[in-house]
Structure 1
Amino acid sequence: MKLHQHFLRSMTDENIKAFIVCPYKLYYEFIDKKKSPVDWKQIVQQVINKVVYSYYQLPFEQRNATKILSLVEQFWSKVPIQKFESRIQFYTIAAKMTDDLIRYLTTETNPTPPLFLFEKFKANIEELDVDLSLTFDVAEWSESSFVVKKYLVEAKPDMLMLYFYLTIVFSKKVFKKIPEKIEVITILDGTKHTYTPTPENMEEGINYLKLIKHLLGDSSSFNELFTEEQCAVCPFEQVCERGARKGTENNYLS
């Protein structure tokens, strides 16, 4: 098992998110290329992305609650119910997702379409010697403001911090300015997390990403970073060798 140096020099936001969830899962999914079955949270995220994308593509006068209901029905009707723990969960999640998408999307009052809608950008971060890729879900830009929005199934504090710093650093490098506001809407708990970045956050973000890169390259810390709560739902649980590697990680990773 080995994290190749070229991987450490060319990363995506998905790589880093997987690392924060579990460094071993990152290896099996992105380095060893083992096929991971899609779980229900990934399916819900895909539906959310499709609804948000389709909604913002509409003329402003057609953006309303009825249209959101129609879009959810269109995409949710293709979701396999067997991916969920029960029929109750399947319908409960659908109702919760629909309610929160209506709640937040219908409050959007800007008639101008977003400048970026699920667009991926790549930039070199010199301070890290890393080529980094990041997808902007919704980015609204005008002469007076720059607002970035993301709709997620859920996000723990460490994921919110990651997205906050990634967005600031990437925006400054690519667009030469930091967002006026960053909004992350987490659908399962119906919460809007709002951040107002400052210039000081840019240096904090660089230092944060330096730490992430250091941890990625230091396999001796992997056993300290993973949490067993993820193991029960991890698709790689049966092949993961984390127990056998304890104390000898450097023999496997470098």
Structure 2
Amino acid sequence: MIKNSQVSVRTMTDQNLTDFIRCPYKFYYAHIEKKKHPLGWRQAIQHIINKVVSSYFQLPQSHRTPANVLMLIDQYWGRLELRMFDSQLQYYMAAATVTDSLMRNLSSESEIAQPLFLYERFRMNLKELNADLSLTFDVAEWQQDSFIVKKFLVDADEQMLELYCHLTVVFSEKVFGIRPARIEVVTLMDGDRHVFNPNKDSLEAGLIYLQMMKALLEDTRQFSDLYNMNECPACPFQGVCDRDEKNERKQKYLS
């Protein structure tokens, strides 16, 4: 049960913000109460993607081939457990889709000589939020007087794409003093590449967005308006979540 209507968030990470967007209750139980929970299939596949992409860019350019992408996928995919998935069909469909997307997208990135960043995590204190921010840069490629940031995700909706872009801009300008020339997010389950071109107004927009997110994170009274029912079936916190009770009280109040 959620005990307090107001919570204090001192550190905002890309992971806890992503969990909040998927479902604020999941964010609360995982990151505020720090309840232990099993790894879900989406997180497990994301770990594999990170390993494959990182290993691929550490290969000499002459070895960055589709065959070696497949070799890396085979190397890491065996760590997945079938019980994480709803069915065998879901498991095999995910394997086929992610494999195809990784081979296609990584092959097109083979010309990057040496990434500027490769899965490097940065942390900073943002005085505008009175909180720390933490973000991992998957792959960054230097280009002239700026850089291109690339991220490889299992999937992402518009809110998550917006979150990542704002975080990347704020970090880039506040920590490095440089606005990224381009931000690319590849969502592997649908094979799409989402491209964003930050401008001079992007930093202010990012700060406003993060201030709004912090306010939402800290006010549990708004969670019942924000949660996503589609996340419920696979949620590890079904046994403790009080979303239904809160919604029932809200409906009685409104009626």
Q: Residue in 1 aligned with 2:199?
A: 198
Q: 1:46 Cα shift?
A: 1.2
Q: 1:233 Cα shift?
A: 1.8
Q: 1:178 Cα shift?
A: 1.3
Q: 1:143 Cα shift?
A: 3.8
- SS at 2:232 equivalent: helix
Q: Residue in 2 aligned with 1:46?
A: 47
Aligned AA (1:166): L
- Residue by residue over 1:22-74, the C-alpha shift from the partner in whole angstroms, topping out at 9 and shown as x without a partner, is 11111111121111111211111111111000000001111010100100111
Aligned AA (2:174): K
* TM-score after normalising by structure 1: 0.91
- SS at 2:165 equivalent: helix
Q: Separation in 2 of the partners of 1:227 and 1:83?
A: 20
Closer, same or farther: CA 231–86 of 1 in aligned 2, 3 Å: closer
Q: Residue in 2 aligned with 1:58?
A: 59
Q: Residue in 2 aligned with 1:9?
A: 10
Q: Separation in 2 of the partners of 1:39 and 1:109?
A: 31
Q: 1:77 Cα shift?
A: 2.1
Q: Residue in 1 aligned with 2:179?
A: 178
Structure 1 residues not aligned, in runs of 5+: 250-254
1:111-190 to structure 2, matched below 5 A, reads 111-190=112-191
Q: Separation in 1 of the partners of 2:27 and 2:220?
A: 12
Aligned AA (2:175): V
Tell whether the 8 Å contact from 2:112 to 2:141 is kept in structure 1 after alignment. Answer: no
* TM-score after normalising by structure 2: 0.91
Does 2:97 align with 1:92? Answer: no
Task: Name whichever of 39-48 and 65-74 sits farther off.
Answer: 39-48
Number of residue pairs the alignment of both structures matches: 247
Q: 1:13 Cα shift?
A: 1.4
- SS at 1:113 equivalent: coil
Structure 2 residues not aligned, in runs of 5+: 251-255
- SS at 1:193 equivalent: strand
Closer, same or farther: CA 227–91 of 1 in aligned 2, 3 Å: closer
Q: Separation in 2 of the partners of 1:232 and 1:93?
A: 18
- Residue by residue over 1:91-136, the C-alpha shift from the partner in whole angstroms, topping out at 9 and shown as x without a partner, is 2221211111111111114342111111110111121112111111
Q: Residue in 2 aligned with 1:68?
A: 69
- SS at 1:128 equivalent: coil
Q: Separation in 2 of the partners of 1:120 and 1:226?
A: 28
Does 2:30 align with 1:29? Answer: yes
- Residue by residue over 1:205-239, the C-alpha shift from the partner in whole angstroms, topping out at 9 and shown as x without a partner, is 11111111111222221111112222222110111
Q: Separation in 2 of the partners of 1:111 and 1:165?
A: 25
Aligned AA (2:73): V
